[in-house]
Structure 1
Amino acid sequence: METKSEQIKTLIGLNDELENYFRNTIIPQLFVDAHLILRKFTPPAMKQFSLKMEDVGRPMADIKDNFRFPSIIENVKYVIESGELLEKEIQTTDMRWYQMNILPYLVAKEKKTDGVIITFVEITMRIRDLREQEKLIAEHEILLDTISHDIKTPLTSLGLTIEMLRKIPEKGMGKFPMLLEKVESSLIKMKDIIYDLTESRQSEHRYNAIEELLNFEHIMEDVRLTLAPQIMETGAIIECEVCHSEIVFVRRKLRSVIFNLVSNAIKYALPGRTPKVVLSTSNENGFTTISVSDNGRGIAEDDLSKIFAKYERIAKDVEGTGIGLYLVKEIVNLAGGHITVESKINEGTTFKVYLKNQV
Structure 2
Amino acid sequence: MQDKNQQIRELIELNEELENYFRNTIIPQLFVDTHLVLRKFTPPAMKQFSLKLEDVGRPMADITDNFRFPSIIDNIQHVIDTGEVLEKEIQTTDMRWYQMNILPYVVAKAQKTDGVIITFVEITMRIRDLKEQEKLIAEHEILLDTISHDIKTPLTSLGLTIEMLRKIPEKGMEKFPMLLEKVENSLVKMKDIIHDLTESRQSEHRYKAVEELLDFEHILEDVRLTLAQQIWESGAVIECEVCHSEIVFVRRKLRSVVYNLVSNSIKYRVAGRVPKISINVALEDVFTVITITDNSRGIAEADLEKIFTKYERISSDVEGTGIGLYLVREIVNLAGGKITVESEIGKGSTFKVYLKNQS
Structure-2-length-normalised TM-score: 0.47
The structure with the larger Rg is 2
TM (normalized to structure 1)?
Answer: 0.47
